[in-house]
Every structure is written in C-alpha cells, then in structure tokens.
Structure 1
Amino acid sequence: MSSIAPVQAAPARGTFPYTDADLERFRELQQLAYECAGRVADWLEPGVTERQAATRLRRELVRSGVSDFFHVPFAWFGDRTAFRNFRTPLQFFPTNRPLAEGMPYVLDCAPVRDGYTADIGFAGKLGENPLWDRISQDLREYRELILREVRERRALSEIYASVDTLIARHGFDNRHRVYPGRVIGHQVTKVTSRGPAGVTVFGFGVRTLQTLGRELIGERRHGRSPLWADGRASRHAPTPGLWAVEPHVALRDVGLKFEELLVVTEDDAFWLDDNLPHVRRWTHSSENEVPADEH
C-alpha cells in the first residue's frame, strides 16, 4: 500500500483555500518558530558555530512539539549572511564558522506541525554593528512595497523587478537570487502526504517534497508556479493562498533578511501577523525618532 495520501482535489483556480481557523493555526506556528529562533538568538555568544546554532534551533522546535520540517534549520554567521562566494546548494548548510563580536547572523527554520507549515528568517547581530542597523531599517520598505504591489495584482515577476529596483536605490546587493531557483518566495500549503515524519532529503522533509511535487504539477497545469522568482514561470498575478516571502539583501559582508507568511485572497492581501520581531523593531525605532523640527 502506498504511503502517500491520495491527491486531494485542488480548489478552483483563484479560490482562497483556507478557513479563518486554518490561518490561526498557521499564525500560531509562525509565532512558535520566531519564539524558538529568539531563544537561540539570546543563547548565542562568541565561539558558537553555525552547526551548533542550527542544532539548538532544531532542538527548541522539537521540544515545542514540532515533529517535521519543510526544510532543516539553517544558521549563517558573518559574511555568510551575505552568501558571498556561494556556488552550490551544499554551501547553504551550516558550517563550523564561529560567531564573533560584531558579527551579523541569520537563523532560518521551517517547522511543520499537524500539516501546517511556517518558514521564518530571524536576523540579528552580536554586539554593535552600525552597518547592520542601517540595512535593518531599510528592510521595512521591502515589506511595504511587496504588500502594496501584491494588492495591485501585479505579476510576481514584476514585483520581483520592483524589489530589485529598490535594492539598487539603497545601494545593496540582491542575495535571494542566490537561492535555488532565484526565489524571493514560495507558496506554503498544508502538508498532506503521509511519508515518514522528520526524515529529510537534501535538507527538505520527505513529506514536503511529496506535497511540493504535487503542487508544482497542479500549478503548472494552470500556467502558474508555486515558486516566486524573476523568470517566465512567475509572469502571473499572485495565486490565492499563503506565500513565504524572504527578501534578502546585503551590503559588503553584512546580509539581512526577514521571512514571513503573506496571505493572498481573491481580492486582497495582508501579512499573516504584524507582531513579529522585525516589525516590532521598526515600530520601536519609529516611535523613538525625533522630528526634524525638534533637533
């Protein structure tokens, strides 16, 4: 007997596939992922390696009830946050690079619980790093730009180009183009396959690969792609559903990103949750800005 669940009937083209209860489950898992990443960030100190951080992040998630992963946890330190000289997918996996004072870091995890999936990116720094501070504040514009243009129903490839234009205006480098497929995002669905939980192949969960394979086939039949990049396959309006969006930029050897879930309905779009570390950081910074006429 096959260990893969029968293929479920796909929702009609353009139909939003989730209930409010589903969205709440996705939101709870995304919060859990950020909480686990935050605990690991608080634990980081000079000398901790990427492998140790990624292992700790996985352990935190498992302790919190996670039994499967869309992809295994990643950790990047120093210039590896900027993906400098990355040539093969194997270079994304954590290494023995130790963290040092002033270094940036990125923690990335994608837990699956009860079929619901989250995919988050948590960026930080150890100690002071003024360059990181500058890039971090500018990232807010990417979140606003992406939401605005998704609401306008511009083609995914056009939104990708708008992000590139903003990156150039800021004087940064586009680093999400280094990801496999050059993706800035990808669709997230409920995992419906029944393969072995917790088993990964090339960093991706077996259940994820089974579900993603079906999604790729189903979307291509409608002339769409579940992967958001800058090529021909992304020359269509955003498909209703959930998208994990991860603009990743760098200046010199400092790379930053955020990654969170974007909800796209038939006639609107919104970020699944505004109570996230990077959003709180931007809000706090705005509240503490001194108006120009008060200087």
Structure 2
Amino acid sequence: MDVDLERHRRVQALAYRCAEEVAAGLEPGVTEREAARRMRRWLVRNGVDDWFHVPFAWFGDRTAFRGIRLPHQFLPTGRRLEEGMPYVLDAAPIVDGYTADIGYSGCLGENPPWEKLVGDLAAYRTLIVDLVRSRRTFADIYAEVDRRIARDGYENRHRKYPGRVIGHQVGRIDSRLPRNVVLGGAFGLRTLQTIGRDLVKERLEGRSPLWNGGRRSRHAPTPGLWAVEPHLGFRDVGAKFEELLVVTEDDAHWLDDDLPHVRRWAAAEKAAERAADHE
C-alpha cells in the first residue's frame, strides 16, 4: 500500500477504535454533548492533533435528522440517550496532516427497525464501489443510490448534509496555519483553508471536491481519496457508515475492510448460514 494511504488507514482505524470504545461506555442519560466530548478527549489522548471536523453525536430521531434544517443544528445537543434508542457517532480526526472521516451507527439495546436498516446498508457499500469502478459520473451514482433507497422503502438522509453530499474528497492537510483551531464549533481552521483551495482548483477543471447529485458532480470519479457516507432513514430511525474510498484512474476500492460495520455484516451472514444449516 502507498505510504500516504497507509497513514490515512491508520487514522481511520484510530477513529473507529475511538467510536467503538465510546459506544461501549454509553449509558441511559448520557447526552450528545457528553458523547462527543468523550470522543474528542479519547482522540487527543491517542495522538490526534487537528480536526477535519470535531466529533458529533446524534441520538434518537436526530439520527434521521428530524428537525435539522440549519448547519448549526448538526452540533451535539443535550438530547439524552434512552434504552432502545439509535445513535450515530461521527468524527474526522487528523494526525500529522493525515485525515479520516468516519461514521459509526449503534443502538442502546434492541430496536428491530434499526437492526434492519443497518443490515441493509451492506448493499450500498457494494453498490457504490461497483458504480465507481464502472466510471459512471458521480451525479449518476448519487441518483442510482437514491433509486435504491426508494426501492428499499427508506429516505435519503445524506441530502440533509451541507451541500447535499454523499461524499467529499480528503487528503493530507498541508498548511502553516495553527493546528487544533476550530471555527463555528465544528471545522478545523486548516481544513477550511484547504477546502477553499480545493473548491477553486476543482471548479477550474469543471469538478468539485463535494460529491452530490448536482451539476458539478457530472463527471467521472476523480482519482483520490473520498470519504463516503450513505445515510438512510426509516421514520425516526437513521443509520449510516462513513469510510474512505480510494479512486484511481480506472479502479476503486475501500481503503480498509477491517471495520466495525463490515465485521457486523460478516457475523450476521455467518449466523444466517448456521441457522439455515440447522433447518
């Protein structure tokens, strides 16, 4: 693996380890703000020195972005976790300029609609990488994912993100600006500078570092590293994964398959096979 990709993979693995450890300690009554603080403290203790964006946490119907209409409403709130409530932990740490952006879906106790939603997300991981490999335009892929969401009886929730994005380009942050300075309660100063430069550069080439269904995404997949985050909703339940996708001139692959949601799907598939063998 290319050295730079390996460094990004390590940061992604670190972020997912943080999400798993924080998730394991969640209990009824904890707030979104406290969960986000736990993630931030954990990441700083483990070497994170800057942020693409600081950790977010969404509980209950906020996992489906109910009531979220303005950017500041994505920030963690005083919503308290309850038994049977889904949650999403999202973090985008940077270590020595190397960025990752992850989304971890969980539930405190049992919630059958959430279980089905999370299980069905597996097909979207396969669909997205297959469509990128086929060199469909980013806008076409977005539309194809929308069609799959509708067929499955779900709602597209990633369209609620700023820019209606299903993904965005990431890379190494190279800036002389100070690290660990956060603006607007969310994004790192150096990240915003880099995004601004990328927007100008890509626009000159008729592209965008933001992947959505709009005119600027009507081009073949741009080689590079992309944080991809299909986010589905069913009534007041939402679930997502977010991980890094490597795009080359003629191929694509997920940066790492040893991730919590991939392991969850593999375990569920094995359990279904064992159950079928005993019938």
Shift of 1:236: 0.4
Task: Confirm or deny that 1:214 pairs with 2:210.
Answer: no
Please give the residue correspondences for 1:83-232 in structure 2 after superposition, counting only pairs within 5 Å. Answer: 83-202=65-184, 203-232=186-215
Q: Deviations over 1:206-233 (max 9, x none)?
A: 0001111111111111111100001000
SS class of match (1:288): helix
SS class of match (2:87): strand
Give unpaired runs (5+ residues) of structure 1. 1-18
Output the CA distance in 2 between the equivalents of 1:66 and 1:156.
31
Please give the residue correspondences for 1:3-18 in structure 2 after superposition, counting only pairs within 5 Å. Answer: none
Deviates more, 1:57-66 or 1:195-204: 195-204
Output the CA distance in 2 between the equivalents of 1:221 and 1:278.
37
Output the CA distance in 1 between the equivalents of 2:277 and 2:48.
51
Q: Deviations over 1:127-179 (max 9, x none)?
A: 11111110011000100000000000000000000100110011001000000
Shift of 1:183: 0.3
Shift of 1:294: 5.3
- Which of 207, 215, 224 is the matching residue for 1:241? 224
Task: Confirm or deny that 1:73 pairs with 2:60.
Answer: no
Output the CA distance in 2 between the equivalents of 1:58 and 1:108.
11
What is the RMSD of the two structures over their aligned residues, measured on CA atoms? 1.1
Shift of 1:35: 0.3
SS class of match (1:284): helix
Shift of 1:59: 0.3
Output the CA distance in 2 between the equivalents of 1:109 and 1:31.
12
- Which of 284, 290, 293 is the matching residue for 2:267? 284
Output the CA distance in 1 between the equivalents of 2:81 and 2:150.
29
SS class of match (1:56): helix
| Cα gap change, 1:294 to 1:96, in 2 (>3 Å) | same
Task: Confirm or deny that 1:250 pairs with 2:250.
Answer: no
Aligned to 1:15: none
Output the CA distance in 2 between the equivalents of 1:164 and 1:43.
34
Output the CA distance in 2 between the equivalents of 1:266 and 1:241.
9
Calculate the TM-score normalised by the size of structure 2.
Answer: 0.97
Output the CA distance in 2 between the equivalents of 1:117 and 1:158.
27
- Which of 71, 82, 100 is the matching residue for 2:64? 82
Output the CA distance in 1 between the equivalents of 2:181 and 2:278.
58
Calculate the TM-score normalised by the size of structure 1.
Answer: 0.92
Report the identity percentage: 66
Output the CA distance in 2 between the equivalents of 1:252 and 1:260.
25
SS class of match (1:122): strand
Output the CA distance in 2 between the equivalents of 1:239 and 1:66.
28
Shift of 1:86: 1.1
Q: Deviations over 1:95-142 (max 9, x none)?
A: 000000000000000001111000000100001111111001100010
Task: Confirm or deny that 1:260 pairs with 2:260.
Answer: no
Q: Deviations over 1:40-80 (max 9, x none)?
A: 00110000000000001000000001010001110000000
What code does the residue aligned with 1:217 have?
A: V
What code does the residue aligned with 1:168 have?
A: A
